[in-house]
Chain A
Amino acid sequence: MTRFVVGRLLLFVGGLAVASVLIFVTLRLLPGDVAQAIAGTTGSPEQVAALRRQLGLDRAVVLQYLDWAGGLLRLDLGESLVTGTPVVDEVLDKLTVTLPLAGLSLVFGLLIGIPLGVTSALRRGRASGVALGTTAQVLAAVPVVWAGMLLIGVFAVTLRLLPTQGFPADGWSEPGRALRSLVLPALTIGIVEGAVLLRFTRSAALGALDQDYVRTAAANGMTRSRALVRHGLPNVMLSVVSILGLQVAGLIVSAVVIEQLFTLPGLGRMLVTDVGRRDLTKVQGELMTLTTLVLFIGLVIDVVHRRLDPRLREVDR
């Protein structure tokens, strides 16, 4: 186990290093000059030169990278090129919206995907099972923005049950109101991600139903569904956990688009705005934060999966 965790940690750190280089280099591919882009066409050559010095753009690219990467280690993401405020403060502030959104989406996704996946496996070959499987197949192909629009159309415009868009300006000071405005966006992501989870759960459960232990339990008088829940579920959950890392990464990406649709002041929406403004330091910091989240969740899930699977524990001994 220790060896596995150390190896996985090294991969995580390596991933962060590769990510930081790739993000930095990609943003430096900018055609033309960052300083010129900020100063605009009206900036005099002196202003542009001053800006270049101020931003450290007159130094070698390697030194600029080392500066930035050194800052990352101290949790310092630099200052915004547009407003001059520290990037890390804003990122942390926006995470108070994005993380609860992602968490709630995951809860919805699991609540939809796992029970329905097991149900559709137990009803294999029957109309209801086929219908569930087909619905999931279709939902997994739905673009998440469109799902959000349809839900807004139904729940917010027609039924007037939930707020269409926005988030309380005073954040979480009224938790109930804040949570209410996260329900529809989280449900949107949860349905689309839940459909993918449903399909994985279903195929894992169908695999478990074919196993000898389910047959033996059924022969000893259990119903097939009880045998599956009692003996098969641990195996099913293991397969689900193993793909959860990818699912959570997908969920965070969906959040970027969904925050824009529901005008939620989260990290994704800020990223979209800053890409438009070409605020490179902020974009760099935001991409790095999102990547770190994705890689970190991948790490946690891999370790949990290893810990849960008794067969893999044997290997370690």
Chain B
Amino acid sequence: MRRGSFARELLRRPQGAFGVGWLALVVVAAVVSRFWIPLDPFDTDPYSAWLTPSLAHPFGTDSVGRDIFSYVFAATGTTVVVAVASGVVATVVGVGLAALGSLTARWVRESVAVLIDVLVAFPTLLIAMALAAAFGGSLTVVVVAVGIGYGVTIARVSRSEIRQVARTDYVLAARADGLGTASVLRRHVLPNIAPVFVVQLSLSMATSVLAEAGLSFLGYGAPADTASWGRLLSDLQKFIGVHPGSVVWPGLAITLTVLALNLLGDAVRDASDPRLRTTRRPTTDTHRLPTTPGVVS
């Protein structure tokens, strides 16, 4: 498949276009927020507490007069860093386990497979709570917990995928042609499992955004001096009986980001499947199993 045609297939789909678009916006906001934020997100002013949305404060202000828009804007950095770091850790854990579980001696392979089956049942949030009990809460705990929790899922999926590809006729033919293991892996196995992998990567990032929100809400995620959507939710929640409207903004930011990552996963899977390519405009109504992960917080 040519690279250009994959990007076109991806963006042609409404899911892909929304996913790429929203995530690009978040990343740009994260980069810009390193240099410029409209108002200091930690600047308190008791005289302007609970202002309703206006031009000066598009999302209004909170209980201590902080500008909610600036806070949400500043928190994009935290989200991007946590999501990317979680994705990287999950990939390393996943690929490592999958390689151990498919390319090694039989007894190693099978014990790793059993271990993966056992570990895959552990919810990420419980791993995070165990780590928080030992080390105290932090964003590192979120990254490590999602990295381990989702890494096992990645390992399970890519292991069966590797084994399936390794049994195909074209791999057999390549081997018969005298190609070494490394070349077979690079030329035939990796290109074939790459889409599955990208899907899992985007889902692991979606999980990390939700896990960060959940743990920060419980008080074991982002520290007080770090802007985070989950922390803001937790701060605003204390006043929900009086000002229920303000929780809309951080929640919306989280939802749209998770949705974008989920949709991007679906779109990558569809765009990389030649059987689903049509000359007509693709509908949103494909009936394949959704890729949404089951265990999130």
| Count of A-B contacts judged by CB separation below 8 Å | 182
- Minimum CB–CB distance from B75 to chain A (whole Å) comes to 14
A203 touches B263 (CB 8 A): no
B292 touches A250 (CB 8 A): no
Stretch at the interface among B51-59, B111-119, B186-194: B111-119
B287 touches A207 (CB 8 A): yes
- On whether A275 and B133 interact (CB within 8 A), knowing A11-B118, A203-B288, A246-B294, the answer reads yes
Which residue of A has the minimal Cβ distance to B288? A203
A143 touches B258 (CB 8 A): yes
- A141 contacts B by Cβ under 8 Å: yes
- B46 contacts A by Cβ under 8 Å: no
Which residues in B have their C-beta under 8 angstroms from that of A295?
121
Give CA–CA (A187, B256) in the complex, Å: 22
A242-259 contacts to B (CB < 8 Å): 243, 246-247, 249-250, 252-254, 256-257
Q: Which of B119, B213, B244 is the one whose CB lies under 8 Å from A145?
A: B213
Stretch at the interface among B62-70, B154-162, B247-255, B273-281: B247-255
B265-288 contacts to A (CB < 8 Å): 283-285, 287-288
Give CA–CA (A252, B126) in the complex, Å: 10
Interface string of A119-144 (1 = CB under 8 A from B): 00100110001100110011011111
Stretch at the interface among B33-41, B96-104, B233-241: B233-241
Which residues in B have their C-beta under 8 angstroms from that of A196?
290, 292, 294
- On whether A27 and B217 interact (CB within 8 A), knowing A149-B247, A150-B247, A254-B297, the answer reads no
Most buried by A among B125, B126, B220: B126
Give CA–CA (A27, B121) in the complex, Å: 20
Give CA–CA (A149, B240) in the complex, Å: 7
B123 touches A252 (CB 8 A): yes
Q: Which of B135, B230, B255, B290 is the one whose CB lies under 8 Å from A203?
A: B290
Which residues in B have their C-beta under 8 angstroms from that of A14?
114, 118
Give CA–CA (A164, B241) in the complex, Å: 8
B178-221 contacts to A (CB < 8 Å): 206, 210, 213-214, 217-220
Most buried by B among A145, A200, A283: A145
Which residues in B have their C-beta under 8 angstroms from that of A140?
262, 290, 292
B123 touches A249 (CB 8 A): yes
- B122 contacts A by Cβ under 8 Å: yes
Which residues in B have their C-beta under 8 angstroms from that of A158?
244
B259 touches A137 (CB 8 A): yes
Q: Which of A157, A257, A287 is the one whose CB lies under 8 Å from B297?
A: A257
Give CA–CA (A137, B240) in the complex, Å: 26
- On whether A18 and B115 interact (CB within 8 A), knowing A29-B135, A143-B214, A250-B296, the answer reads yes
- A310 contacts B by Cβ under 8 Å: no
Which residues in B have their C-beta under 8 angstroms from that of A124?
285, 287
Give CA–CA (A107, B241) in the complex, Å: 28
Give CA–CA (A317, B241) in the complex, Å: 61
Which residues in A have their C-beta under 8 angstroms from that of B258?
141-143
Q: Name the interface size band of chain B.
A: 35 or more
- B31 contacts A by Cβ under 8 Å: no
B118 touches A291 (CB 8 A): no
A141 touches B218 (CB 8 A): no
B129 touches A130 (CB 8 A): no
- B7 contacts A by Cβ under 8 Å: no
B123 touches A11 (CB 8 A): no
Q: Which of A249, A261, A291 is the one whose CB lies under 8 Å from B237?
A: A261
A249 touches B295 (CB 8 A): yes
- On whether A253 and B125 interact (CB within 8 A), knowing A130-B285, A141-B255, A200-B290, the answer reads yes
Give CA–CA (A149, B232) in the complex, Å: 13
B254 touches A152 (CB 8 A): no
Give CA–CA (A256, B296) in the complex, Å: 12
Which residues in A have their C-beta under 8 angstroms from that of B123?
249-250, 252-253, 294
Q: Which of A210, A247, A260, A283 is the one whose CB lies under 8 Å from B218?
A: A260
- B173 contacts A by Cβ under 8 Å: no
Which residues in A have their C-beta under 8 angstroms from that of B206?
141
Q: Which of A144, A247, A298 is the one whose CB lies under 8 Å from B121?
A: A298
B113-155 contacts to A (CB < 8 Å): 114-115, 117-119, 121-126, 129-135
- A231 contacts B by Cβ under 8 Å: no
Which residues in A have their C-beta under 8 angstroms from that of B176?
none
B133 touches A27 (CB 8 A): yes
Which residues in B have their C-beta under 8 angstroms from that of A138?
255, 259
A284-298 contacts to B (CB < 8 Å): 287, 290-291, 294-295, 298
- A280 contacts B by Cβ under 8 Å: yes
Give CA–CA (A18, B112) in the complex, Å: 13
Q: Which of A19, A206, A250 is the one whose CB lies under 8 Å from B295?
A: A250
The 4 A-B residue pairs whose C-beta atoms are closest, nearest first, are: A246-B294, A153-B244, A206-B287, A146-B251
A sample of 18 inter-chain contacts (CB < 8 A) reads A22-B122, A26-B131, A26-B133, A133-B284, A138-B255, A143-B214, A146-B251, A146-B255, A150-B244, A210-B287, A246-B294, A249-B295, A257-B125, A257-B217, A275-B129, A278-B133, A280-B133, A287-B130
Known: A129-B285, A140-B292. 6 other contacts (CB 8 A): A143-B230, A145-B230, A145-B237, A149-B244, A196-B294, A256-B129
